[in-house]
Amino acid sequence: MGSSPPPSPAPSGEFCAAFRVRAGAGGSLTFASFMELALYHPAVGYYRRPRTRVGYGAGTDFFTASTSGPVFGELVAAAVVELLGKSDPRDFTFIEIGAEPGGGVLAGVAHPFGATQIVPVGEAPAAAGRCIVFSNELFDAQPFRRFVFRSGTWRELGVALRDGALSEIELPAIAPAALPAVAPEGYIIDAPLAAAELAGQIAALPWEGLFVACDYGKSWRELTEACPGGTARAYHRHTQSNDLLGQPGEQDLTCHICWDWLTDSLTRHGFVTPTVESQEAFFVRHAGRYIAVTTAAEAARFSPKKLSLLQLLHPAHLGQKFQVLHARRGR
């Protein structure tokens, strides 16, 4: 067994108590179980705390495409209408899964859909009938398992609480069959299995229409060949960190999702030709008319709306950092 990194700063007493209850007599958790506790526990979970997490203001931790204001929602609405083709958007309910409290991509946006619905982050998805099911950075917020290749075999990484401090440990767990047979010594794979399971749960619901997910991820080949240190990251006060155990309940934890796994989940449930595009390509191809009209109207000035478009589309900003998966089932 390899040496473990030094323990992170001591977590709060409240978090330690919750950890001990969850860990039981064994005193340790898989990283996925630790992440579920740190993000979604009703008392100490990061996403359960009544605070503003997204934005540029004091106390926020990160920004997303929705931080650009209504322009993102207008782009999404325009792209969805284009993808619906001859179908009347008034026949569809627009469901956003994983929206922040009081948010929603269509907040303050004039849209053509028959109804809208928000499923808050951490709540079970629901959809029925004719729908557009949309999410923005939902799947990267799901707990993931961590594995390291050590001495010819995969070991699962876990978290232990000893003397009031958290530390990373290696567990003798059996790795999923999806992991490659061999890898370089010390190679880490952050396996977003829960994200794929969530996609399958959403796809299994009794609805037809359009699935659109904005997120960031990689192919399985990239995750297994080009990311030797894994893709897990922590975010606190707009600072990215590799200290995944620091400030549990106070920082966000995330990793790149596996687009191959999500597209497979959709295909198994009857979705046609799931397609992954960069955010830039998705909006240029499917919301081109909106972009043309908006840029023409704002041509004489460098307005906030034009700045938002630049941030969302330019490859040096969010245009290439994020991708969009879309697929359709039914009419």
Model confidence, pTM: 0.89
Fold classification of 26-329 is Rossmann fold (3.40.50)
For the chain, give every domain's residue range: 26-329
pLDDT digits (tens, 9 = 90+) for 38-88: 999 999 998 887 666 555 555 554 555 555 568 999 999 999 999 999 999
pLDDT digits (tens, 9 = 90+) for 144-171: 999 999 999 999 999 999 988 999 999 9
Evaluate whether 121 touches 142 at the Cβ level (below 8 Å).
Answer: no
How sure is the predictor about 95, in pLDDT bands with cuts at 50, 70 and 90? Answer: very high
For 121, the 3-state DSSP assignment is coil
Evaluate whether 19 touches 11 at the Cβ level (below 8 Å).
Answer: yes
Of 26-30, 51-55, 172-176, 256-260, the one with minimum mean pLDDT is: 51-55
Of 6-15, 33-42, 110-119, the one with minimum mean pLDDT is: 6-15
**pLDDT score recorded for residue 193:** 95
pLDDT over 90 at 93, yes or no: yes
**pLDDT score recorded for residue 221:** 97
Query: What is the bridge-based pairing of β-strands 233-236 and 323-329?
Result: unpaired
User: Percentage of the chain surpassing pLDDT 70?
Assistant: 90
For 330, the 3-state DSSP assignment is coil
**pLDDT score recorded for residue 56:** 56
CB atoms within 10 A of CB 40: 17
Question: In which region does residue 209 sit, left (phi positive, over 0), alpha (psi from -120 to 50) or beta (all else)?
Answer: left
Residues 131-153, mean pLDDT to the nearest whole number: 95
The most confident of 78-92, 240-254, 296-310, by mean pLDDT: 78-92
Q: How far apart are CA 13 and CA 70, in angstroms?
A: 41
pLDDT digits (tens, 9 = 90+) for 266-301: 999 999 999 999 999 999 999 999 999 988 887 777
